[in-house]
Structure 1
Amino acid sequence: MLKEAYPYYLANEAVFANQDLKVIDKYNGEVATSVAKAGADVIDKAIQAAEDAQPAMTAMPAYERQAVLEHCVKRFQERFDEIALALCLEAGKPIKDAEGEVTRLIDTFKIAAEESVRIEGEVLNLEITPRAKGYQGMTKKVPIGPCSFISPFNFPLNLAAHKVAPAIAAGCTFVLKPASRTPIGALIIGEILAETTLPKGAFSILPCSRDGADLFTVDERLKLLSFTGSPEIGWELKAKAGKKPVILELGGNAACVVDEGADLDDAITRIIFGAYYQSGQSCISVQRIIVHESLYDEFKERFVAEVKALKSGDPKNRDTFIGPMIAESEAVRLKTWVDEAVAAGASLLAGGERDGAMLQATVLENAPANSAINEEEAFGPVTVLSKFSDFDEALTSVNNSKFGLQAGIFTRDIYKIQKAWDVLDVGGVVIGDVPSWRVDNMPYGGVKDSGLGREGIKYAIEDMTETRLLVIRNPNG
């Protein structure tokens, strides 16, 4: 169960300053616990502490940073059930999904521990012209400096881990603002980091209100901003961030193509998972399903039947597949989009009803191209079916979106695989599976309104380090 109250972490230390932030059990709507909330003065102190600690963090040997990350892995494993239940309560995530996220949290810190001792430079041959005779070049990677992280509600553990773990591996101090709706996972990470030998001030984890968090973006002492969340907020923060580099992991409207000859048993099983796991609240959740006309009728019949059979209810029950959305207001928004699409001519094949924050697993067919459910990010348990006759037409449909995060293609044709990889304007193409698939060492990120940059530990470390050149002249050379 959750503790009665949680602190924030300022300069590595727990501070029970107040109990101003109430965390709601997303299934029953009751207050589950209270969290200390930081104001602008505390955020300022945290940034100063991170700046002051950066020289010691930079000097920390790689093996010591690796030991910190390995300690976290061990403690996450020891507290696995506790962390999973906390996630289930604060996020409304079905317990099996919560356990899966704790597993990914552990994987992410394991990968970071491995990468922490692989941050290497190179020797350059500068003698490319007679004037460079006797010159040699070398590069090394150095930490970019104090980093600012803002993480979202839908993966409170793992998306925070994808910022925190590479920062430690790279030798960067940081301040983290977790989502106010789901701060507990990040605070448990903070509790475990506080057990380690990180220099004092190396990290702060500060739940706070959005209007009090401007320093996370505008403060020039912070040398990088990494934000995961909505496109509207992300692009706004980038415009305000000043000189610092900005990494944005934003929304999606992921499409999945089922081509002729695909294994329907496999495709339906995977798309059910990819569309409805954790109630569709993932930026790579399957939203648009585009099926070849030769398979369409059978796919539709079987898919709809399986969607209707998904069990909704209390996320603590192990047989629950569909839990609550993060807030009733989000369920109301998505129900409105469904109703608007139906009024504009879409067919409702399954679901569509709402009870509080619970929205039924929903399937629409032929929603108008300009409907919100087609154009925007649903971020909930709704899919839209359509058919195609020509593969190039299907690829055009996938690209007909302002988003470009990942796409899934079920095909056995190697030439179509190559064509999809060449043509699709997305950050990643997944063949034989859903766009919702992700493993934590791969480069992950999008184009267009889906963001800038890539996460995945190795790739995040590249953003959190800078290349420093050394040139040596041999006057006798």
Structure 2
Amino acid sequence: MTTTHDFWLAGRRASGDADFEVHNSWDGRLVGRVSVPTAAQVEEALDAAVAALPVFAATPAHQRAAALDHVAKRLAERTEEIARLITAENGKPIKWARGEVGRAVSVFRWAAEEARRTNGETMRLDTDPGGVGRFAVVRKFPRGVVLGIAPFNFPLNLVAHKVAPAIAVGAPIILKPAPATPLSALVLGEILAETDLPAGSWSVLTVPNDRMPALVQDRRLPVISFTGSDKVGYQIMDSVPRKHTTLELGGNAAAVVLADWSSEADLDWAATRIAMFSNYQGGQSCISVQRVIADASVYDALVEKVVAKVKAQVTGDPNDDATDVGPLVDENAAKRVESWVEDAVAKGAKVLTGGSREGATYAPTVLAELPADAILAKAEVFGPVLSLHRVDGVDEAFAAVNDSPFGLQAGVFTHDLQTAFRAHRELEVGGVVIGDAPSYRADQMPYGGVKDSGVGREGVKYAMDDYTVEKVMVLTGLDL
């Protein structure tokens, strides 16, 4: 009999009066049933979070850091179990699922360290005559209860990026995992329940998406951290303009290969990284390689290598250690990718490899001569599809990168330091990776985009900044 998984209400297990099913996208099997909170239980969680706010904000740094250290330790101990669960609910190949658990360990470890060293600042105010005898202490305090809305593509690590910074600053959090992939978040709840965090400081509520607007509108949740599609993200922001909202949205990341990246070894490296990171989560990553922009002098040689390396990606059972590319999150996602490729081909694009679907799996695909009016030319495919573009020189390459409604990250393969700094200055993205694909992310670095890719930054310290507000205390009558 399949287990029905409880949710977590104010730090304790709870079950509602309904449930939903989670299926494996590779073989369709039932992975588990998940209980859905009632409206009254959601209210209870929100009231508990509000009540916990002053208590949690006042907890000593060592207590919050110890809880975060415990989570990091237990995630590491349970790596294989949790990785198997990620693969079961998400379809992610097991080797990438293990990597995701490792990254979540890092997020909680970084949060523990940041909790210990967040000190605020002081400043003397006698820089002007009116400030003689005055001294300021500036500290950061939680803005309020956080609503964290997580996506399906990294069901543990992107949950960690919501939860860990909140714990680090003492901000209660209501976490809403993606309905397609709630099981990893519920296991995280098991581990959080082993800590001595205050009652009400966290809840994991497995509510369906049609109940999300009520949470978004609730005045008890003044901070919203959302990762997902640009359409939904900006709907949230537009609906609550007075709330503090962080949006980590989509992208159609470009990998630029310039003329100086021309040796056999250079092109092998670029092709290897492009092939891997256009497909590594089935393309279901906001910074997976979607566009390859190559200088005309290296284009032909690069195309040959990219196509060969994409063909070498092993597609199949995500439970197999040898598998590089598994299914998408469900068959509808694969059908959408299929329709976008068909649209591109109908408008003149050429399929160099791939271009076929079997159930929820879409074959790793490379397109050339993609027309500007194809959906794939501007939208985020969120699937294992990349397009190749020939340009002449750096000016044209950087203009092509910027010719996008999105601006999350870009990769630039160049040896030239001046060009690297120019890319950093001119590319309209939140991050530039030199000598590698745009898909690199370290969990402590600021991560986020510009344009339709969102507002605000993740990365533990930067999310902590988003969850808090500076408050100043002025002391008077002091001999400085």
TM-score normalized with structure 2 length: 0.97
Matched residue, 2:117:
118
CA distance in 1, matches of 2:458, 2:479: 46
1:402 aligns with 2:405: yes
- Runs of 4 or more, structure 1, over 6 Å off, are none
Q: Residue 457 of structure 2 is aligned with which of 450, 454, 457?
A: 454
Q: For the Cα contact (< 8 Å) 2:179–2:207, is it kept in 1?
A: yes
Q: Provide the secondary structure at the position in 2 that maps to 1:295.
A: helix
Q: Provide the secondary structure at the position in 2 that maps to 1:329.
A: helix
Deviation at 1:242?
Answer: 4.4
CA distance in 2, matches of 1:376, 1:242: 26
CA distance in 1, matches of 2:312, 2:370: 23
Matched residue, 1:108:
107
CA distance in 1, matches of 2:21, 2:393: 52
Greater mean alpha carbon deviation, residues 446-455 or residues 414-423: 414-423
Deviation at 1:449?
Answer: 0.4
Matched residue, 1:217:
216
Deviation at 1:476?
Answer: 7.5
Number of equivalences: 476
Percent identity reads: 46
Q: Given the superposition, is the C-alpha separation of residues 470 and 321 from structure 1 closer, same or farther in structure 2, using an over 3 Å criterion?
A: same
1:36-435 aligned within 5 A: 36-262=35-261, 263-435=266-438
CA distance in 1, matches of 2:38, 2:316: 37
Residues 307-352 of structure 1: CA deviation (Å, up to 9, x unaligned): 1121111100111111001111111111111111111111110000
Q: Given the superposition, is the C-alpha separation of residues 343 and 476 from structure 1 closer, same or farther in structure 2, using an over 3 Å criterion?
A: closer
Greater mean alpha carbon deviation, residues 366-375 or residues 446-455: 366-375
CA distance in 2, matches of 1:131, 1:105: 49
Deviation at 1:17?
Answer: 2.7
Matched AA of 1:123: T
Residues 156-206 of structure 1: CA deviation (Å, up to 9, x unaligned): 000010010000000010100000000011111111101110111111101
Q: For the Cα contact (< 8 Å) 1:149–1:216, is it kept in 2?
A: no
Matched AA of 1:446: G
Residues 86-120 of structure 1: CA deviation (Å, up to 9, x unaligned): 00010000000000000001011000010011111
TM-score normalized with structure 1 length: 0.98
Residues 401-432 of structure 1: CA deviation (Å, up to 9, x unaligned): 00000000000011111111110010001101
Q: Provide the secondary structure at the position in 1 that maps to 2:225.
A: strand
Deviation at 1:42?
Answer: 2.1
CA distance in 1, matches of 2:477, 2:20: 62
CA distance in 1, matches of 2:215, 2:169: 20
CA distance in 1, matches of 2:311, 2:121: 57
Q: For the Cα contact (< 8 Å) 2:135–2:478, is it kept in 1?
A: no
CA distance in 2, matches of 1:242, 1:404: 22
- Alpha-carbon RMSD across the aligned residues, in angstroms, is 1.3
Matched AA of 1:426: V
CA distance in 2, matches of 1:437, 1:387: 24
CA distance in 1, matches of 2:134, 2:17: 60
CA distance in 2, matches of 1:9, 1:123: 40
Q: Residue 474 of structure 2 is aligned with which of 454, 458, 471?
A: 471
CA distance in 1, matches of 2:18, 2:183: 13
Q: Which runs of 5+ in 1 are unaligned?
A: none
Q: For the Cα contact (< 8 Å) 1:40–1:215, is it kept in 2?
A: no
Q: Which runs of 5+ in 2 are unaligned?
A: none
